[in-house]
A and B are shown apart, each in its own frame.
Chain A
């Protein structure tokens, strides 16, 4: 077994932005999302403390725009999509207080920070990869605002279940190829409307595990493709959602490398093999570990 995180120094490099190829720099505009995906995955694995949080937070604060919002990287224009990721990263580290909330008079997180930011994020925070993430955003927003009774749960649940194809994976629309990231979008929505038992969880778990790079760690969109941080996050988060971990320890042992790079290509990603120590539960609406969400709610005045 590898000593854990020997290669995680590449996560540091990630924040220092030492990049030497076109493929890696050309994605730098969405580094804030990459930070959220990578760090949440680490936290789910119980390994967040291996990251130099001062470095992450100092980078993150350098990103902040004078309007209060956050961009994808230093010097870029702020956007609610990245602002959500930034707040989520701060929540992971229990550092929400570093934000000067009063300063943000554009409304990005004034007042009740969580209600405000998450509702917006659930509504706008997706780049609409497909119709499914739009559904997730709507269901998530309704869940957060306590309005799930507006949904015909049987009808929506039925449609979501139809996303599961023969291989066990889920697709985003009829006749599309299955993709690991939908494990998150579909499963979270199904859990929120209490219809997750309609899906074949065993087959889905197998599909996610088949999508790993068993030599180097990490998870790709579907079996035999190149891994990246986005799909690793959704794969790990999705697996936790499918609650099938009782028979997974050995597999996860080999499987869940965590990446350090948001290039989306996984080429020079330093993936590390982790010692499995169980996964934390993730909240299906807030997309953060449950203990982080609880910490925020219970510390609220």
Chain B
């Protein structure tokens, strides 16, 4: 049965055909932008050479694609409608393959063919167009998984990574696009000859997207300012990178630790990269444990220990250079916890890859004292530094209560001073400080 189409719908379907034609003829598009119609004149520059599409709506050159914001609404409606109709047919086909042809005959409208093969091509074509316009349309992502899984061709999996990367380049926080990548990677693990290279490129992609270096150079869209804001502190991107660690070799983990140091230094306000380094350190520790002989005769893990020591020094250097940055202190908190658990000992058994716990505590108190001095200057950053340092020391103290650190017992005799400092620096959290310090006192 053929429905009557009104002129808006016809227009939408025409636009969709043009878009899909562009996507089929230029499979290497790496940049998409939605731009205001007035910007087309400048882009076209009088040299529109493809009569296959309306040059006031689309622009496609050098693997870049621009779509007029005026066309988005009809285009989306047509893409959604066409996709949903195709998907309905495809679902009938796969649920009852034998009877499919007879079932479908009654439903097919002129343009859609009934064979399974071509229906799959249609699903892929329409879902791609739809996802470019509406990237969190989960049903469309699912349909692609269904088809790719059925075909089991390696290149099709690779195409999925490309489509997802294209979408992430202008929608860097699309949960579905990230999750689609994880699905692909899980599927090709063990079946792909250059899997470790792929993992490495994947990690680089996250960094590129987290930096906001998605492809917005050419198409200055109305959304570009918003885009830059969106790409900052991208939790989903960094979670994806943390997830990826499980697929890395020992060597790769080490390389990632070295490579991401620079990035972290340039983005001290973004705790994501520090969080990533924490996951890497944990992974490194796991690798080194699995190396040990089953009798467990040795607890020596020199490589991790040295990385930890370096990280601690590096973090202190950053803390002193960038005053009052919360992310740096949160990272130090992790490092001290990590170190106290694995590398700090009281009985001299620590050599050659451990430190004496009293020495460690002394060092941390020195850092605290020096930061407290800065907070006296009255500047906001300095005050923040003092507060973070005091809260950090309170945290370390809480952790060390039962460790037998002699140095600490002496230091903590004067908890009153710490309490005064905290209440002065952050009076609105008085109840918190009192409860926490009370808790430490009771356990001394």
Contacts and interface: CB of A to CB of B under 8 A. Distances in A.
A173 B233 contact: yes
Contacts, number: 74
B439 interface: yes
A198 B429 contact: yes
B269 A154 contact: no
Interface string B60-76: 00000000010011001
B73 A25 contact: yes
Contacts of A246: none
A243 to B, nearest CB: 15
A79 B139 CA distance: 10
Interface string B378-410: 000000000000010001001000000000000
B136 interface: yes
A77 interface: yes
A154 B434 CA distance: 12
B77 A198 contact: no
Interface in A30-84: 30, 71-72, 75-77, 79
Nearest to B142: A77
A176 B431 contact: no
Contacts of B391: 162
B273 to A, nearest CB: 12
Given A25-B73, A127-B175, A79 B235 contact: no
B435 interface: yes
Contacts of A128: 175, 235-236, 239
Nearest to B432: A198
Given A26-B134, A29-B136, A173-B271, A200 B429 contact: yes
A71 B46 CA distance: 47
Interface size class of A (residues with CB under 8 A): 20 to 34
Contacts of A129: 235
A1 interface: no
Contact of B435 (A29, A30, A154, A203): A154
A130 B235 contact: yes
Which of B80, B133, B134, B432 has the most A CB atoms < 10 Å from its CB? B432
A20 B435 CA distance: 55
A239 interface: no
A25 B76 contact: yes
Interface stretch (B102-110, B253-261, B323-331): B323-331
A131 interface: yes
A75 B84 contact: yes
A173 B326 CA distance: 10
A301 to B, nearest CB: 36
A89 B57 CA distance: 41
B198 interface: no
Contacts of A157: 432
Contacts of A30: 136
B137 interface: yes
B138 interface: yes
Given A22-B73, A198-B432, A174 B134 contact: no
B188 interface: no
Nearest to B137: A29
A25 B79 CA distance: 12
B31 interface: no
Nearest to A30: B136
A176 B233 contact: yes
A158 B432 contact: yes
Contacts of A131: 235
B161 to A, nearest CB: 21
Interface in B97-145: 133-134, 136-139, 142
A29 B235 contact: no
A77 B139 contact: yes
Nearest to B330: A174
Contacts of A161: 429, 432
Interface in A1-40: 20-22, 25-26, 29-30
A103 interface: no
A30 B176 CA distance: 13
A203 B426 CA distance: 14
B270 interface: yes
B326 A174 contact: yes
Interface string A271-299: 00000000000000000000000000000
B139 A26 contact: no
Contacts of B432: 157-158, 161, 198
B326 A175 contact: yes
Given A72-B138, A174-B271, A198-B435, A203 B428 contact: yes
B436 interface: yes
Given A29-B136, A75-B84, A158-B432, A175 B325 contact: yes
Interface of A: 20-22, 25-26, 29-30, 71-72, 75-77, 79, 127-131, 154-155, 157-158, 161-162, 164, 172-176, 197-198, 200, 203
Given A25-B73, A128-B175, A175-B271, 5 more contacts: A22-B73, A30-B136, A75-B139, A128-B236, A161-B429
11 contacts: A20-B73, A22-B73, A25-B73, A25-B76, A77-B138, A154-B435, A154-B436, A161-B429, A197-B431, A198-B432, A200-B429
Q: Which 4 A-B pairs have CB atoms at the shortest separation, nearest pair first? A: A22-B72, A198-B432, A174-B326, A22-B73
